[in-house]
Amino acid sequence: MTRRKLFRLDEITGQFGGTLLGDPAIRVSQVASLTAAGATDIVFISQARYLGQLLQTKAGAAILGADAPEAAGIARIICANPYAYFARVSTLFNPAAATVAGTHKSAVVDKSARVDKTASLGAGAVVGKKVRIGKRVRIGAGCFVGEESSIGDDSMLHSNVSVYHGCRIGERCIVHAGVVIGADGFGIAREAGKWQKIPQIGGVDIGNDVEIGANTTIDRGTLEDTLIGDGVKLDNQIQIAHNVKIGAHTAIAACVGIAGSATIGRNCALGGAAMIYGHITIADNVSISAGTLVMKSLVQPGTYTGVYPFSTHQRWLKNAAQLRNLDELAERVRTLEARLGKDKGNSQ
């Protein structure tokens, strides 16, 4: 392991702002957790309830919120958004590995493809006809990029990614291993007891600064493109069906499924394993809780939830049995009310 570069705390605040309390000459080289940190590490706390843990840490410095200037004897940077500040510091300490330009000798590149000379194509990568690969793009080992697709400047595809023909990936995107972009949408028509395939002639259009988690799938559109807006962040194993549109800066946790032709607004947050019906529209700034199935359009910002509350299995058995008869229970309550005379008040 090579020795890490050390940064003075006042170098950090000089670059990213914030108020420095303590010795500006303290030098740190890495971010760490409160428990694992040593003298050349910097830690962060974004929630006041964890401030007590600062007493035990051996970190050299801490990034804290504006509500915590007096929290500890440790050197500290006070800022409005400790988590985002930490992101910047960690990025400073852990820069992406430099791209080594060039095409591995085992990669297969069609002669009609335009690959920028600063791009890096890994072992066994396959690049089809008329593909465009931008500046400083990195294509990982075993990736496939189909005919007439394009990858924007500074984007990266990790290993074994499949991009079908006619898809566009913007700039500064990160596509993790096993992702499939542009497979046929699930378009089938029933006729005489069999399914007819509907050709999927749209593509996929992915904006800039999008990150796509491992083994996520984004299908091509039936007639027009499936659209992923700028700054969208997708976790692993998400399924995005044909014709979906996702607004800019929406974040989606793992295992979410979005059915065909759904439109998701900007700045939304979808919790893990949430499922969105097809052909509905979700407004901007909507949060969907983990595990929630959304069956109709949402026009108001807010948080929406639909999860069966778990319990011990024994208790679930009892409650679930009643739930199966809930309509009947409600009817019995209506009967009781009728017998007592609903409008009588506490007349007994």
Q: Which of 131, 174, 244, 264 binds its own copies (CB under 8 A)?
A: 174
Site for its own copies in 111-140 (CB under 8 A): 122-124, 126, 140
Q: Both tokens of residue 31? A: 């971010």
Site for its own copies in 72-111 (CB under 8 A): 81, 83-84, 86-88, 90-91, 93-94, 104, 106, 108
Which region, judged by CB under 8 A, interacts with its own copies, from 11-19, 31-39, 53-61, 63-71? 31-39
Taking Cα atoms as reference points, which of 138, 39, 46, 40 lies closest to residue 87?
46
Q: Which residues pair with 181 in a beta bridge?
A: 163, 218
Site for its own copies in 250-309 (CB under 8 A): 251, 253-255, 257, 259, 267, 272-273, 275, 277, 289-295, 302-309
Q: In angstroms, rounded to a whole number, what is the distance separating the alpha carbons of residues 33 and 41?
A: 9
Q: Both tokens of residue 113? A: 């493809």
Q: Which residues pair with 288 in a beta bridge?
A: 270, 304
Q: Which of 56, 70, 117, 312 binds its own copies (CB under 8 A)?
A: 312
Q: In angstroms, rounded to a whole number, what is the distance separating the alpha carbons of residues 252 and 8?
A: 36
Q: In angstroms, rounded to a whole number, what is the distance separating the alpha carbons of residues 46 and 84?
A: 9
Q: Cβ of residue 74: shortest distance to its own copies, in angstroms?
A: 18
30 vs 120, beta carbon nearer its own copies: 30
Q: Cβ of residue 339: shortest distance to its own copies, in angstroms?
A: 5
Which region, judged by CB under 8 A, interacts with its own copies, from 11-19, 20-28, 57-65, 176-184? 176-184
Give the type of residue at 75.
A
Q: Which of 6, 51, 180, 283 binds its own copies (CB under 8 A)?
A: 180
Q: Which of 132, 215, 283, 284 binds its own copies (CB under 8 A)?
A: 215
Q: In angstroms, rounded to a whole number, what is the distance separating the alpha carbons of residues 289 and 294?
A: 10
Interface with its own copies, residue 3, by CB under 8 A: no
Q: Cβ of residue 284: shortest distance to its own copies, in angstroms?
A: 11
Residue from 242, 249, 279, 313 carrying the catalytic annotation: 242
CA quadruple 143, 148, 153, 156: dihedral, nearest 10: -10
Q: Total binding residues for its own copies by CB under 8 A?
A: 128
Q: Cβ of residue 64: shortest distance to its own copies, in angstroms?
A: 15
Taking Cα atoms as reference points, which of 260, 240, 235, 264 lies closest to residue 250?
264
The answer to whether 57 and 40 are in contact (CB under 8 A) is no
| Exposure b/e, 59-68, CB count within 10 A at least 16 = b | bbbbbbbeeb
39 vs 293, beta carbon nearer its own copies: 293
Q: In angstroms, rounded to a whole number, what is the distance separating the alpha carbons of residues 198 and 31?
A: 51
71 vs 157, beta carbon nearer its own copies: 157
Is residue 242 among the annotated active site residues? yes
25 vs 345, beta carbon nearer its own copies: 345
Site for its own copies in 39-68 (CB under 8 A): none
Collapsing DSSP to helix, strand or coil, 269 comes out as: strand
What are the residue numbers of the active site? 242
